[in-house]
């Protein structure tokens, strides 16, 4: 929000410079993003009167003006503005003046041979407008020629651009900032009042009623009819205050509603009462608030015809939609140059309803921003009376009737919040002033009371057994922010100053360390990166595609309306994106969560998933630049390498049940008796739909199970195993075996039969085709035997090799070839 210091000084007394105030507010949580010193925009620009304006003899679009600025003799100024005329009171930039908004320093010059001793300025050249039709003329009855024009244009001001945090709705108003400055500096507040506004209860020309069928959406609505208004430009002081806040002046009525928005943070809206009656179809009006119905539409003030969603909140007149409640008015009932009678709306709307309504229409306004953060209910009548007072003064209207409806039984109250001095000391610690003394090492009770009282809180002090505590009544304008004891402690620290508290470190510094689970996750990431996989990250939000998804109540976009139930689709999207952008095949992995819903029960699981594809080899020039797709075994080898690094024994079993993977080239992974995940080649139909290469593989693993296995002590600590200096002895064995027999089971059988002397087993041939019975395959293994204390003989090896053959025949019905 843009804060005018000139306006702020009328609301609170302070002596800080703009820079000091900006630093004070920033430290207190109101970040000042920019200081705009407007006093420099028109330095050296004075008030002048055009005594004579004659056409330039050598230029059709130039005039030679004699301008009186209160000096001994008038200035001769060549002016190119078409509206320059004799008698105009104008801003004159004298020689030496610098206009920073157009980066121009005024010098004596000649234009078409005629000397010029200054420049008559437009509002554009002074930085007040983007475009001006000509020079600016003042409407002054007794101008003081030669005086500084900055007070007349509102340029004797400094603007602070302040960002208020989401919890500080009061920071979106001048009164709210004034209260904050008063609390920080101790300055006296001068809050504007609206005394003397009379509110009649009846009217002879029309009837006004308020109907609120859903009070939870709109707890309070006040409608006021003001007749006989005269639409005209607002006075200069009002326009200047709006311009300083970045708001474009329109007319006296609309400007007053915008002024109250800035002053109190209370959005108001003015309807043309006669147009409202035309839309309603009756002179008797019943104003209401409801949600839009299917098929309704409304043309808003921005000229757009909007199709209303069921969650769009509306203001209605006799049940006809006339405005988007709390967001934007309707074009059919807007205040215009011929408006004579007004209906002024002042209301409180539910923040969630306004947020949904604004989002459904894709618009965000100053009014909706304030309603979303929460408007102070208590000060609504005051803001309404203040607006009525200004409208009767500036638009010469007369209040004829006011109607209201409220679902609140009485004045809203704020519950007392307990606060303990001991808890303040525990949270905030010692003060810097108490580093060398024991007397005032902590905040004292009186200091806490002064700080909270400056914030507008009421306190009841309680002393029990030497322990000081309070019952704190929070002011209504901070009710949404200060709800708990810790909130009050934060306010105490914020206003006292965070730099006033000690920063003593603990007496003993112990080395920190990650828990085993976090260490395991980091090691797992490093292991996959070492295998050439890039770590990826996707949003957990996806489109809604099924009933099992967890959907969001109010999503930002349709594309992000539900939580993902699996991770492979996101990896495929990333793979396709890289291919389409010429980056080649993507080998990557992702650690994330998946979500599901079943019978109103929600589940959340942590997974690690990956995608592998493309040619990962080097030296393609040997093959004439042709790619060599990665095989199933090479992709599986990447997983095997990761498992081997952590000393994990993972078993592979056929699994045709995964829809996204090839039914004949998919394996389920088992860690002991626990199901670890799946690995396989993408389904041919899926590859065809996404135009993927044939050799693309994916895996999904249970992260907690994998991390728990890695974190176990026996897997984290590497143990040295001695090696033998004696030669090995190897034996080959080949046999036919049914296709459904997994190699992992065969390896386990041979390891059990070979005993301790069997050092390693290697599969070196897998053949299917001519000479092999149908439904079988030929496998050949090399078994290596070695002892650490002697050279093995045939007598040592033959019995073991025979036992291996017998186990294969017995367990798998293998038919030996050698």
Cβ-based neighbours of 803, under 8 Å, separated by 6 or more? 753, 754
Instruction: Tell me what pLDDT residue 244 has.
Output: 92
- Indicate whether 293 pLDDT > 70: yes
Contact 273, 225 (CB under 8 A): yes
CA atoms within 13 A on the CB side of 186: 3
% helix, strand, coil for the chain, step of 5: 30, 30, 40
Of 434-443, 676-685, 760-769, give the lowest mean pLDDT range.
434-443
For 135-163, letters b (16+ CB in 10 Å) and e give bbbbeeeebebeebbbebbbbebbbbebe
Instruction: Tell me what pLDDT residue 503 has.
Output: 78
List residues bridging with 76 in a β-sheet: 66
Quote the CA–CA distance of 442 and 436 in Å, as a whole number: 12
DSSP 314: E
- Indicate whether 205 pLDDT > 80: no
Instruction: Tell me what pLDDT residue 158 has.
Output: 95
Quote the CA–CA distance of 276 and 282 in Å, as a whole number: 9
Of 432-436, 727-731, 765-769, give the lowest mean pLDDT range.
432-436
pLDDT digits (tens, 9 = 90+) for 72-128: 899 999 999 999 999 999 999 999 999 999 999 999 998 888 999 999 999 999 998
pLDDT digits (tens, 9 = 90+) for 686-700: 989 998 888 899 999
Would you put residue 29 in left (φ > 0), alpha (ψ -120 to 50) or beta?
left
Q: What is the DSSP string of 581-609?
A: TT-----EEEEEEEEEEETTEEEEEEEEE
- Indicate whether 715 pLDDT > 90: no
Instruction: Tell me what pLDDT residue 619 has.
Output: 60
Query: Is the model more confident about 700 or about 598?
Result: 700
Contact 112, 69 (CB under 8 A): no
Q: Average pLDDT, whole number, for the chain?
A: 89
User: Dihedral of the CA atoms 622, 625, 626, 627 (nearest 10)?
Assistant: 90
Instruction: Tell me what pLDDT residue 400 has.
Output: 92
Instruction: Tell me what pLDDT residue 524 has.
Output: 94
- Indicate whether 271 pLDDT > 70: yes
Q: How sure is the predictor about 712, in pLDDT bands with cuts at 50, 70 and 90?
A: confident
Instruction: Tell me what pLDDT residue 762 has.
Output: 92
Quote the CA–CA distance of 371 and 265 in Å, as a whole number: 9
pLDDT digits (tens, 9 = 90+) for 302-359: 999 999 999 999 999 999 999 999 999 999 999 999 999 999 999 999 999 999 999 8
Q: How sure is the predictor about 743, in pLDDT bands with cuts at 50, 70 and 90?
A: confident
Q: How sure is the predictor about 620, in pLDDT bands with cuts at 50, 70 and 90?
A: low
Instruction: Tell me what pLDDT residue 88 has.
Output: 94
Task: Work out the number of other CB atoms within 10 angstroms of the CB of residue 572.
Answer: 22
Instruction: Tell me what pLDDT residue 193 has.
Output: 84
According to DSSP, the β-strands at 268-272 and 398-406 are unpaired
Instruction: Tell me what pLDDT residue 37 has.
Output: 94
pLDDT digits (tens, 9 = 90+) for 482-511: 999 999 999 999 999 988 888 776 666 677
Find the mean pLDDT for residues 41-66.
92
Q: How sure is the predictor about 818, in pLDDT bands with cuts at 50, 70 and 90?
A: low
Q: What is the pTM of this model?
A: 0.70
- Indicate whether 226 pLDDT > 70: yes
DSSP 317: E
Q: What percent of the chain lies above the pLDDT cut of 90?
A: 66
Is 365 buried (19+), middle (13-18) or exposed (0-12) by CB count in 10 A? middle
Find the mean pLDDT for residues 216-236.
94
Instruction: Tell me what pLDDT residue 499 has.
Output: 87
Q: Kindly report the backbone phi and psi dihedral angles of residue 601, in degrees, each rounded to the nearest multiple of 5, phi listed first.
A: -105, 130
Find the mean pLDDT for residues 593-611.
91
Instruction: Tell me what pLDDT residue 349 has.
Output: 95
- Indicate whether 458 pLDDT > 60: yes
Cβ-based neighbours of 625, under 8 Å, separated by 6 or more? none
- Indicate whether 147 pLDDT > 90: yes
Cβ-based neighbours of 8, under 8 Å, separated by 6 or more? 174, 177, 178, 181
Tokens of 388: 């009525």
Instruction: Tell me what pLDDT residue 121 has.
Output: 95
Find the mean pLDDT for residues 549-557.
84
Find the mean pLDDT for residues 798-806.
92
Q: How sure is the predictor about 740, in pLDDT bands with cuts at 50, 70 and 90?
A: confident
Q: How sure is the predictor about 199, in pLDDT bands with cuts at 50, 70 and 90?
A: low
pLDDT digits (tens, 9 = 90+) for 388-430: 999 999 999 999 999 999 887 545 556 789 999 999 999 998 8
- Indicate whether 439 pLDDT > 70: no
Quote the CA–CA distance of 744 and 124 in Å, as a whole number: 82
- Indicate whether 568 pLDDT > 70: yes
Q: What percent of the chain lies above the pLDDT cut of 70?
A: 94
Instruction: Tell me what pLDDT residue 616 has.
Output: 64
């Amino acid at each position: 929000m843009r804060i005018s210091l000139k306006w702020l000084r009328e609301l609170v007394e302070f002596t800080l410079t703009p820079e000091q105030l900006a630093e004070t507010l920033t430290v207190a949580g109101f970040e000042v993003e920019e200081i705009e010193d407007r006093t420099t925009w028109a330095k050296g620009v004075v008030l002048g009167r055009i005594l004579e304006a004659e056409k330039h003899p050598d230029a059709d679009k130039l005039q030679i003006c004699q301008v009186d600025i209160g000096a001994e003799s008038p200035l001769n100024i060549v002016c190119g503005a078409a509206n320059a005329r004799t008698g105009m009171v104008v801003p004159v930039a004298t020689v030496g003046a610098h206009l920073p908004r157009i980066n121009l320093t005024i010098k004596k010059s000649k234009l078409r041979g005629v000397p010029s001793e200054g420049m008559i300025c437009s509002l554009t050249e002074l930085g007040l407008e983007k475009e001006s039709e000509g020079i600016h003329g003042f409407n002054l009855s007794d101008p003081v020629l030669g005086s500084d024009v900055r007070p007349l244009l509102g340029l004797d001001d400094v603007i602070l651009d302040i960002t208020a945090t989401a919890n500080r709705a009061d920071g979106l108003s001048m009164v709210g900032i004034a209260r904050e400055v008063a609390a920080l500096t101790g300055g006296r507040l001068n809050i504007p009042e609206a005394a003397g506004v009379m509110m009649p209860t009846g009217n002879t020309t029309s009837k006004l009623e308020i109907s609120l069928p859903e009070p939870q959406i709109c707890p309070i609505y006040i409608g006021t009819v003001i007749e006989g208004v005269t639409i005209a430009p607002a006075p200069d002081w009002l326009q200047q205050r709006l311009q300083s806040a970045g708001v474009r002046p329109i007319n006296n009525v609309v400007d007053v509603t915008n002024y109250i928005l800035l002053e109190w943070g209370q959005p108001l809206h003015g309807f043309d009462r006669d147009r409202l009656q035309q839309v309603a179809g009756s002179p008797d009006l019943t104003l209401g608030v409801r949600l839009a119905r299917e098929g309704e539409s409304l043309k808003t003030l921005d000229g757009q015809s909007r199709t209303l969603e069921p969650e769009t909140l509306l203001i209605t007149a006799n049940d006809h939609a006339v405005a988007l409640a709390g967001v934007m008015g309707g074009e059919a009932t807007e205040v215009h140059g011929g408006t004579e009678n007004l209906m002024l709306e002042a209301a409180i709307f539910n923040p969630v309803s306004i947020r949904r309504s604004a989002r459904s229409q894709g618009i965000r306004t100053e009014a909706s921003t304030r309603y979303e953060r929460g408007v102070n209910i208590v000060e609504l009548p005051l803001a309404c009376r203040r607006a009525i007072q200004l409208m009767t003064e500036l638009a010469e209207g007369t209040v004829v009737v006011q109607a209201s409806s409220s679902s609140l039984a009485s004045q809203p109250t704020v519950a007392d919040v307990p606060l303990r001095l001991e808890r303040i000391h525990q949270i905030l610690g010692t003060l810097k002033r108490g580093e060398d003394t024991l007397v005032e090492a902590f905040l004292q009770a009186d200091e806490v009371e002064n700080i909270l009282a400056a914030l507008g809180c009421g306190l009841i002090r309680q002393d029990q057994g030497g322990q000081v505590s309070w019952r704190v009544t929070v002011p209504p304008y901070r009710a949404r922010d200060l709800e708990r004891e810790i909130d009050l402690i934060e306010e105490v620290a914020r206003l006292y100053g965070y730099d006033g508290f000690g920063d003593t470190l603990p007496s003993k510094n112990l080395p920190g360390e990650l828990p085993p689970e976090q260490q395991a996750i980091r090691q797992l990431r490093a292991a996959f990166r070492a295998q050439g996989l890039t770590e990826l990250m996707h949003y957990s939000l996806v489109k809604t595609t099924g009933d099992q998804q967890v959907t969001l109540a109010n999503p930002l976009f349709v594309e992000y309306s539900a939580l993902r139930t699996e991770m492979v689709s996101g990896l495929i999207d990333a793979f396709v994106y890289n291919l389409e952008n010429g980056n080649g095949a993507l080998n990557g992995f992702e650690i994330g969560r998946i979500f599901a819903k079943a019978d109103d029960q929600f589940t959340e699981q942590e997974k690690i998933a990956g995608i592998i594809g493309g040619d990962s080899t080097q030296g393609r020039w040997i093959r004439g630049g042709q790619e060599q797709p990665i095989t199933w075994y090479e992709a599986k080898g990447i997983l095997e390498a990761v498992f081997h690094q952590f000393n994990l024994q993972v078993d592979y079993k056929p699994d045709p049940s995964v829809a996204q993977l090839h039914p004949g080239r998919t394996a389920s992974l088992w860690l002991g008796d626990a199901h670890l995940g799946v690995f396989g080649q993408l389904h041919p139909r899926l590859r065809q739909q996404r135009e993927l290469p044939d050799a693309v593989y994916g895996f999904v693993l249970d992260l907690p199970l994998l991390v728990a296995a890695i974190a176990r002590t026996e897997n984290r600590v590497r143990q040295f195993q001695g090696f033998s200096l004696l030669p090995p002895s190897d034996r080959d064995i080949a046999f036919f075996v049914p296709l459904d027999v997994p190699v992992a089971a065969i390896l386990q059988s041979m390891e059990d039969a070979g005993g301790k002397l069997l050092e390693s087993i290697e599969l070196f041939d897998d053949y299917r085709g001519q000479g092999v019975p149908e439904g079988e395959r030929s496998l050949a293994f090399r078994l290596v035997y070695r002892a650490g204390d002697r050279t093995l003989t045939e007598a040592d090896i033959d019995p073991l090799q025979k036992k291996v053959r017998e186990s294969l025949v017995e367990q798998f019905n293998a038919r030996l070839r050698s």
